[in-house]
Amino acid sequence: MPVTLPQLSRRAFLKRAALLVAAANLTPQSHAGWFGKSRDRHTFAFFSDAHINADARSIQAGVNMADNLFACVRSLAAWPVRPAAVMVNGDLAHRSGRPEDYATFAKLIHPVRTLAPVHLSLGNHDERENFWRALPGDAAQLPSVPLKQAEVFASERANWFLLDSLDATAHTPGELGAAQLYWLQRELAAHPEKPALVVCHHPLDATGLFGLKDSVQLEALLTRHRQVKAFIFGHTHNWNLAQHPSGVHLINLPQTAYPFVPGRPSGWVRATLSREGMELELRCLDERHPEHAQIKQLVWRAA
């Protein structure tokens, strides 16, 4: 039941790449020059809402989702340093999480594993059993909460809490559930020493119609535990930064796939931690987009 795909050695990567190309029926890509970069232990990369179809030629809203994801992969690989980790924040599959969708997703994301460990979470277009079966050999740990994929991992300047908000496949709202909320409360209480950064596919939504149905309960946890500095989410296909009245930063990741509103950027986000906050950079697939390469500085709220 994979949460984290460990980083691969060059030998392991090249051996598995040929198998994945054949399995997904995709054209092999050159990965020369992807090895040997130094690692920045304070830098992380975020992808979200990939919506990969079994057919890599599939198009929605005028966008080839597979081409977009692999363009993001190439852009990340061209970055001067390796990130400490890469997080793909839900909706890995196109509509309903078919096994074939995950086979194609696995091929496209595979090169990232030469750069860093890859943490995967699920969105409302994913299907847990198909996802778990698709990558059985990559299981790094069992889920911390039954039938969910909650995870916490540490970096030098922050603890990361990855939540699973998939409620029902192809059903828009998400839900954490009482067991996962209790797990998060317990883990936050056990890790007060560093800033806490919480990652979830669905946004806070008081109505419960589009985002989290248990937004009120999660919001209470985020605001009460003062080490929580940011809540990072996707789902809306709309890159945006805001701040909760409590001071928690609300980071809405862009999609790698198609925007819901024409003209909004698609791409990935580079996040670099300092002791006092985080620097964010949007890397647009369209480098002519006015928001491409814009850098935002976030300052953490007081403990």
DSSP string computed for 134-192:
HSGGG--S--SSTTS--EEEE-SS-EEEE-----STT-S-B---HHHHHHHHHHHHH--
Return the residue matching tokens 């990741």. Answer: 253
Burial (CB < 10 A; 0-12, 13-18, 19+), residue 13, is middle
Per-residue pLDDT at 3 exceeds 90: no
**Cα–Cα distance, 45 to 241 (Å, whole number):** 16
Q: Which residue has the higher pLDDT, 263 or 28?
A: 263
Instruction: Tell me: pLDDT of 247 over 90.
Output: yes
Distance CA 271, CA 279 (A): 6
pLDDT higher than threshold 50 for residue 26: no
Write the pLDDT tens digit of every residue in 63-88. Answer: 999 999 999 999 999 999 999 999 99
Hey, how many other C-beta atoms are within 10 angstroms of the C-beta on 121?
25
Question: Which amino acid does the sequence have at 145?
Answer: V
As a whole number, the mean pLDDT across the chain is: 91
Lowest pLDDT segment from 16-25, 186-195, 274-283: 16-25
Q: Does position 35 have pLDDT exceeding 90, yes or no?
A: no
Q: Which pLDDT score, from 0 to 100, does residue 16 have? A: 60
pLDDT above 50 (res 28): no
User: What amino acid occupies position 42?
Assistant: H
CB-CB contact of 42 with 82 (8 Å): no
Cα–Cα distance, 196 to 231 (Å, whole number): 9
Q: Which two tokens stand for residue 49?
A: 């809402």
Q: What is the pLDDT of residue 23?
A: 43
pLDDT digits (tens, 9 = 90+) for 116-163: 999 999 999 999 999 988 887 665 555 678 888 899 999 999 999 999
CATH H superfamily, domain 4-299: Metallo-dependent phosphatases (3.60.21.10)
Could you tell me the residue ranges of all domains in the chain? 4-299
For residue 22, what pLDDT is reported?
45
* Residue 160 β-bridge partners: 153, 197
Q: In what order do the strands lie in the sheet with 196-199?
A: 151-154, 159-162, 196-199, 228-233, 249-252, 240-243
- In this prediction, what percent of the chain has a pLDDT beyond 70? 88
* Packed helices 65-77 and 99-109: angle between N→C axes, nearest 10 degrees: 30
* C-alpha span between 250 and 164 (Å, rounded): 17
Over the stretch 166-184, which tens digit does the pLDDT of each residue have? 999 999 999 999 999 999 9
Q: How far is CA 132 from CA 29, 136, 141, 143, 230, in A?
A: 26, 6, 12, 11, 28
Q: Does the reported pTM lie above 0.85?
A: yes
Characterize the bridge pairing of strands 240-243 and 59-60. unpaired
Task: Using a pLDDT cut of 90, give the percent of the chain over it.
Answer: 78
Token readout for 285 is 């697939």
Residues in a beta bridge with 184: none
Q: Retrieve residue 44's tokens.
A: 């992380």
